[in-house]
Amino acid sequence: MAELGRMTAVQLVAAYGKGELTPVDATRAALDRIEQTEPAVNAFVRVDAEAALRQAEESAARWRRGEPEGLLDGVPVSVKDILLQKGGPTLRGSKATRLDGRWDEDAPSVARLREHGAVFLGKTTTPEYGWKGVTDSPVSGITRNPYDPSRTAGGSSGGAAAAVALGAGPVALGTDGGGSVRIPGAFCGIFALKPTYGRVPLYPASAFGTLAHVGPMTLDAADAALVMDVISGADHRDWSGLGPAEGSFREGLGDGVRGLRVAYSASFGGQVAVAPQVASAVRKAVERLAQLGAYVEEADPDFSDPVEAFHTLWFSGAARVTQHFNKEQRAALDPGLREVALRGARYSALDYLAAVDVRMDLGRRMGRFHSAYDLLVTPTLPLTAFEAGRETPSGRGRWTGWTPFTYPFNLTQQPAATVPCGVDGDGLPIGVQLVAARHKDALVLRAAQALYEAGAASVPAPQLP
């Protein structure tokens, strides 16, 4: 069962085709793993074992007939409880959610997984409305790190990252408005991709606007490429979605990095204090890219920290989320969300448009930067996982204070991924971030795949009982 939990989606589909495993085997193993680890980690807000096994049996019958339904037929997956999944409520981590809705619609990415035969294990935990970089909420409590349950899993897709790391399904869908797949991906030692904005359709539209992306969280880059081939199709419900991708994300995945121009920014020009063990692990990953034939140069992107503009946009989104809540609903909110929503409600339209101006200038600067460099490489985070139950390691400030490498690229809408590149002295995972120009998602996946093939992207599996 432990070996099954470390098999990727690509490996599972290949094993199904050869008759070596069935979707029922993989689903039972994932459900067993959830049962074993949930008391310690709390990655799921809802698990539907009966429905999952029924879907797995239907998939197994299709494989026996030699008629798989799609690219992920029989692969166990989980869905962050921000995204709609028909058959049950999407709580969004909030006690304000009405439970008497129809709940008969899938979000676009969830619908595409369903069309390709995926087996849905359940919904993973999120902070309330995905508002912060750790995962705890009034609904589900604290989600903990698979490598050390006293530490945070990160967020806001913390349950999704923990589930993949623990072997509770090799694929999870997460959302990322300021780092929310990359932060927990780095803390939990898995791969996570924030695609170019609009590449994966989103519905309903996020209150956080075009900062919010949907992305795959997987055991490696090859699985993410496979998932992107499934979820990146157009959906008429998303007015801002992009047109069809050019070809498959799996085409050219193994072409390597020889000849690519890579900029390595260790600290955004001294703007970020990075823990020494993190800096060392990231530098080794960059050195491996150079050994694989990339032209690597230390170079910093031309911008100062855009945190105030990000706060204006992000806190305004929080105000919009809670705008129509009554007194009782507001009283039940995460206190931090209530605080930033009140702050967001005080911004004027001119404040908001000034933040948009900063955003547009940042996008222009990064567009120019990528005319000289194919990839930007940074630490994903300047630190490893800290104490669970805190928004920040110091207990002061907002979550953006320790995520300076992630949220700028939500402002610019660029594709960015975290790749595991080692562990610190406490055995906690470290992530390296790969960033490319808009629409160059395949390039990010290709560079990540090169690190995996070179053995530079592996971390030990978590050793929870």
Indicate if 327 belongs to the active site: no
**Catalytic-role residue among 180, 206, 265, 316:** 180
Indicate the angle between helix axes 158-166 and 23-41, nearest 10 degrees: 120
Whether 31 and 49 have beta carbons less than 8 Å apart is answered as yes
Q: Which of the following is catalytic: 59, 78, 80, 194? A: 80
Tell me how far CA of residue 460 lies from CA of 23, 40, 190, 329, in angstroms.
Answer: 26, 19, 11, 43
Residues 6+ apart with CB under 8 A from 415: 193, 194, 195, 196, 199, 435, 436, 438, 439, 440, 441, 443, 444
Beta-strand runs (E) in 99-170: 119-124, 136-137, 141-142, 144-145, 148-152
* 135/390 Cα distance (integer angstroms): 9
Active-site annotation holds for 240: no
Annotated active-site residue 180? The verdict is yes
For residues 146 and 161, give the distance between their C-alpha atoms in angstroms, rounded to a whole number: 9
Q: Kindly name the residue from 156, 157, 206, 232 that is annotated as catalytic.
A: 156
> Judging by DSSP bridges, how do beta strands 191-194 and 44-47 pair with one another?
unpaired
The CA distances from residue 23 to 72, 121, 225, 251, in Å, are: 10, 12, 21, 26
Catalytic residues: 80, 156, 180
